[in-house]
Amino acid sequence: MLSRVISFDEVVKTSIETFRNTFGAEPELAACAPGRVNLIGEHIDYNDGFVLPMALQLGTVIVGRRNGTDSTCDVVTCSDSIQEGTKRAQFDSSTIAKGSPKWLNYVKGVMFHFRQPVPGFDAVIHTNVPVGSGLSSSAALEVATLTFLEQLTGKPVPSMSDGAKMCQRAEHTFANVPCGIMDQLIALGGRADHALLIDCRNLDTEPIPFDAPELAILICNSNVKHELSSSEYPVRRRQCQEALELMGLNSYRDATLEHLKALENANELLVRRARHVITEIERTKAAAEALKAKDFTKMGQLMTESHKSLSEDFDVSCYELDLLVEATVATRGVLGSRMTGGGFGGCTVTLVQRAALADVVKEMDTIYSRKTGGKYRARFYLAQPGNGARPIELGAYLR
């Protein structure tokens, strides 16, 4: 059955109540930013590719207020998904340095790259984005922080792309994750009932209507956790760059399958890495056209092809993700399925006929539990395209 997720209103209300209990006052500012699911276009945002994510109606909320100090920041998280370190920490906004707890480094990184004086503040952070699931809880936290800082200082960032780059730098420098820019852009630019086609070479974006009431977007969390900073993610980036240089190109946007001949004398691994990038860029462009044409059968086929490439050429899947996709695409009513996110665990995303949704969930749950020996139980979420980052009007919650 579908997993229950605490609602956005519950997240806001819990944040406010925690703020009152912790700081003995009412919050004055609030901001939120969504998680995301990437429909297609994986591991190509750092290779000048196209990606096609959508913002979720799951997100991260920050409530807070100035505390009257010049630079003392007191931050609390009330998220149950934070398992490591303390849930409350203080630091000085004038001398920001990364450290412990790890979750606070995402906040500190955005503050550091914000490049504006930040007054002392108290804040509470809460989220209903599953952490470590590949739904971009990190970018949701970064972008929520940025949106909160804009309100706190009255200094808006000039453009969406500037904000996305700022949050990306925060993740590079304070979380040590060499991520691409897709997650930050969709967290800022998401639009309800749309996917967002992002050109990662120039950061142009195009909202793509996703109008299919007869279909459902099903997210399945494998509950296999991944930690990108200690995974193969940085290795994949280096391999892609090495292959590009051996092909004599400056960008994968100029690459075709013919260029792979230049890698014939190189490691076969580099051939596979480059082949994934080249074909995934083409699949993503085709998927955007399929959505525009409401050709959802084609969209599903492209999603499944994407997973095969990620598993066989890019080696970022795992047994559990492959198991979920194989079980899913064999089930009646499923148009396509693939892993989503960095890989090595996390989630799959599936395009399924809404009338078949209950049967698909039951079948996936049964097969996954049996074939993992009961070690893992999948969690299922129904996804709808949501809006990007925004301030929250607290008036309705404080009455």
Question: How far, in whole angstroms, is CA 248 from its chain's centroid?
Answer: 32
The one-letter amino acid at 154: G
The residues assigned a catalytic role are: 183
Which neighbouring-strand residues pair with 127? Answer: 60
Which neighbouring-strand residues pair with 340? Answer: 347
C-alpha closest to that of 321 among 335, 336, 333, 310: 310
The domains of the chain, with CATH numbers, are 8-209+386-396 (3.30.230.10)
CA dihedral 252, 340, 314, 253 (to 10 degrees): -10
C-alpha closest to that of 267 among 315, 339, 227: 315
Give the separation between CA 143 and CA 59, rounded to whole angstroms: 10
pLDDT mean for each 10 residues of the chain (399 residues): 85 96 96 97 95 96 97 91 73 94 95 96 94 84 98 96 97 90 96 96 95 94 70 88 96 97 90 98 98 97 98 95 95 97 90 97 94 90 94 87
Query: What pLDDT does 145 receive?
Result: 98
Query: What pLDDT does 82 receive?
Result: 56
**Is 145 within 8 Å of 110 (Cβ atoms)?**
yes
C-alpha closest to that of 118 among 161, 60, 59, 64: 64
Give the separation between CA 157 and CA 145, rounded to whole angstroms: 12
